Amino acid sequence: MKVEQIYTGCLAQGAYYIESNGEAAIIDPLREVKPYLEKAEKDNATIKYVLETHFHADFVSGHVDLAKASGATIVFGPNAKTTYDAYIAKDGEELKVGDVAIKVLHTPGHTMESTTYLLIDKNGKDHAIFSGDTLFIGDVGRPDLAAKSDLTQDQLAGHLFDSLRNKIMPLADDVIVYPAHGAGSACGKNMSKETTDTLGNQKKTNYALRTDMTKEEFIKEVTDGLTPPPSYFPLNVMMNKEGYDNIQNILEKGLQALTPEAFEAAANETGALVLDTRKTETFAAGFIPNAINIGIDGNFAPWVGTLIPDIKQHLLLVTDEGREEEVVTRLARVGYDYTIGYLKGSFDAWKQAGKEVDTISSITAETFANRFEQDNAIKVVDVRKPGEFQAEHVETAQSAPLDYLNEHLTELPKDETMYLHCAGGYRSMIAASILKARGYENVVNVEGGFKAIAETNVPKTAFVCPSTLK
């Protein structure tokens, strides 16, 4: 028996490969399915099942493409309804994979079709659970994503409490927990950076598994402090329910190399958004006017999903040379299938063609500290999350979280220089590019963000441990 966790850090997502005696099962695959096919081929195994723990909201699963490519059966738990062929398993049903079995444990709560898969080894011993968004390391799935008029988030949280108590917690302490997500995912609020643990340790350390916890306490704690989910979540759910275009077709459309002239014409004719995925410092030094910078070397896909509300938005890409396919693939993971081409030769080609360029002022934390010392009334805008801001911030800073930047535009002056910072510089450059595109000419990015500012003498509020904040 082989069990492999395939963890994708930029999505904080775990897919799983299980192989036994020439048969394999894949759980919650990413959209690009070639790596799973290659693993099975290397093991001389046939992929028998593609198991989905639920209709994912934060990424487009590869289950449809993988089933077509491998001949495998797509499996969901009870309550799932799809428009493509899938096997809807019964609660308690066992699926054979080589010499092992995978038992279906229906665990509604995060969503009503949520299912945990229990791996039973060839000796009949419970080995591991693939818990999807039912149980994370340090947390449980948020119960508000599937809330509808006939089922509130409190009712869903109640289902989750019952699922955990009746299906998960009775399992043995040495059972390994393999969740669908880790820290950084928006599907929970307190996830650990660890990507696996024993169930016994989770029973000791996970607040949601306290044995003396009442259902009412659970509902209150699980639903407390939830922020609105990104707008692309329901759109990804729809794609996972109804299917989608093949990833190869997306790549063929997206990997159209365009000269500067063709790129400019495409932008003008289609109204496409120019998405620049280069590093923040490279972008600041020169970019195509109105381009939005979301660097590929960060939490790229989640920020794209958060800041570009229409997944059918046409996109034109400026990337580092050689990374075009990676960018198109990572966009497709969250359902952005409408890339129509990229700038051949990247930004250097644009400059050499004599096209108009824009820049963003970027200064060190030391320079920022000097300017603050000379004038402590300068406008400082902190684009970190509310919890980060509440924990500690520059005394005079205004909070304008990047997630909700559009809601703060009326509070931000166009006629005054604004110094933007986040924690390390990634998010503030995204914010700066958005503001530039909306006509804010006087934006200055502080390099290194609050981490660098904290090393200066700029006055800051007293630190408050984030875990004590409500």
- Give per-residue pLDDT as tens, 322-336: 999 999 999 999 999
Residue 469: its pLDDT value, please? Answer: 57
Q: pLDDT digits over 4-50, tens only?
A: 999 988 888 999 999 999 999 999 999 999 999 999 999 999 999 99
Residue 364 has pLDDT above 70, yes or no: yes
Q: What is the DSSP string of 24-39?
A: EEEES--S--HHHHHH
pTM for the model: 0.88
CB atoms near residue 405 (< 10 Å): 20
Long-range contacts at 103-107 (CB < 8 A, ≥ 24 apart):
104/75, 104/77, 105/129, 105/167, 105/168, 106/77, 106/78, 106/79, 106/163, 106/167, 107/77, 107/131, 107/132, 107/134, 107/160, 107/163, 107/164, 107/167, 107/168
Per-position b or e across 306-326, b if 16+ CB within 10 A of its CB? bbbeebeebbbbbbbeebbee
Secondary element (H or E) of residue 7: strand 2-8
Residue 148: its pLDDT value, please? Answer: 66
Q: For 18-27, 87-96, 295-304, 324-333, which range has the lowest pLDDT when averaged over its residues?
A: 295-304
Residue 466 has pLDDT above 70, yes or no: no
Residue 470 has pLDDT above 70, yes or no: no
